Amino acid sequence: MQNKELEKEFLFFKKLYEYKVKYLLIGRQACIIYGLPLYTFDYDIAVDNSEDNLEKIFMIAEELDLYPTKDKQEILNKKVFVFSLQNDIKIDVFCAKRYQTKDKKFIDFLEVFNRRLIKRDRKYGLVFYIPTIDDLINFKKINPDTKDLEDIKALKKIKDAYYKRRKD
């Protein structure tokens, strides 16, 4: 990955924080923050699908020359629930109010957002909103592929180790 791409990614997340966007980092990048030894090039975020919140995302995208892969008006009209922002970087955006996992549990975005963890990277001045480990596991269960199932297993081990350490 080139420095220009990394700078744009950093700027994207800085602007999400500056514009007070309601979002959660939900993909493998969130797993990395929890300590999983993974490598991934893209970013997955879930966002509040209110018009105000989505407009902020579109303003940020425009500032950074990122283009939505779906029609903006269809996204704002709640006809599209997943789209990407891309150019020289790629960010997948999930924008439903509620999600259903394969095991029939429901995930309400605003409830999960209100439980979020705030992780700061002081070196680069970044702030990331991530779901709790249980909520991240549930996001991974929405449409799990092989990588998601591996991530779920590893996240559960991290969670178990954390609680075991607290008991000792």
Q: Which two tokens stand for residue 9?
A: 């990614």
Strand partners, 85: 68, 91
Amino acid in the structure at residue 164:
K
Encode the chain (168 residues) as per-residue pLDDT tens digits. Answer: 456 667 899 999 999 999 999 999 999 999 999 999 998 888 999 999 999 999 999 999 999 999 999 999 999 998 989 999 999 899 999 999 999 999 999 999 999 999 999 999 998 889 999 999 999 999 999 999 999 999 999 999 999 987 676 665
pLDDT for 25 equals 98
pLDDT for 87 equals 92
Q: Is the dihedral of CA 4, 7, 11, 12 positive or negative?
A: positive
In sequence order, the 6+-apart residues with CB closer than 8 A to the CB of 14 are 125, 126, 127
Indicate yes or no: pTM above 0.85: yes
The CATH number for 19's domain is 3.30.460.40
Q: Which two tokens stand for residue 10?
A: 């950093």
Residue 126 structural domain: 3-167
In sequence order, the 6+-apart residues with CB closer than 8 A to the CB of 105 are 138, 141
Structural domains in the chain (count): 1
